[in-house]
Structure 1
Amino acid sequence: MKYSTKVSDAVHILAFIQLNSTGSLSSDSIAKSMHTNPGCVRQLMSALRKAGLLSSIKGHPWPSLAKEPSSTTLLDVYKAVEGDKPLLHLDTHTNPECGVGVHIQLSLQDYFDQIQKTAEEEMRHITLQDILDRYQEKISGK
């Protein structure tokens, strides 16, 4: 089962740009930090740009944050790269003739919706600055 790391990767990109403003910010440089390919970085950067979280000019390797880190929330990043995709997914490939197969999914949907709402509310209160501050704590050994 594959799961998405888009939010984590998008935060990585934003943090890399904020923390390395004097170094190379090409998609190649960022991709090396993420152990991925530059195309993946460009796709995420495009989504961040469309969401108003990143400023860049195509063909120029000097992107910058479009807003202060304290004004960008984890929910902003999540919505930018995942859109309306939920965190949890139902298995829609159950046997339609099995009562459990049908009704357990319907029962779970209410809880999954509640979890989504709670998670989004939490993400609304976590800023990129909070994440950068935690990063600084981690590298300083606190």
Structure 2
Amino acid sequence: MRASTFLWFDGQAEEAAELYTRVVAGSAILDRQRDTDGRVVTVVFDLGGQRCIAHNGGPQFTFGGGISLYLDCDSQEEVDTAWAALTEGGKEGPGGSLTDRFGVTWQVVPTALADLLAAAEPAAAERILTAIHAMTRIDIQGLIEARDR
């Protein structure tokens, strides 16, 4: 048995899978399934080690903010690169969240956040969390400065 993320699109499954596999290192499109007219119906792809399925199912369903894709980034450069690609045509949200141009919500979070919070005294952790809520794209240096105030 294996669990996968299934994403329902209205005609943009292939475009979305191509964007996502470009943004997330170690990703690849595994399969494209087409209908009898040659149109892509389903794209199976590996997203940084997680199997995902993008399906062109029509307009019946749309994405909501109650579920999102979480992207751990090892550096500020990774945060910035992913953020720029995923917000193009999309919308920035608070605290490292965004909605891409397809309506999929993402959390783009530096791995440094967990380290900063784990090592922080309670008052410093509160300052870090306050700083995150004031940010859209998370800035690691800004978190360090908040911790050190």
TM-score by length of structure 2 reads: 0.28
* Greater RCO (CA < 8 Å, at least 6 residues apart): 1
Higher helix proportion: 1
Higher strand share: 2
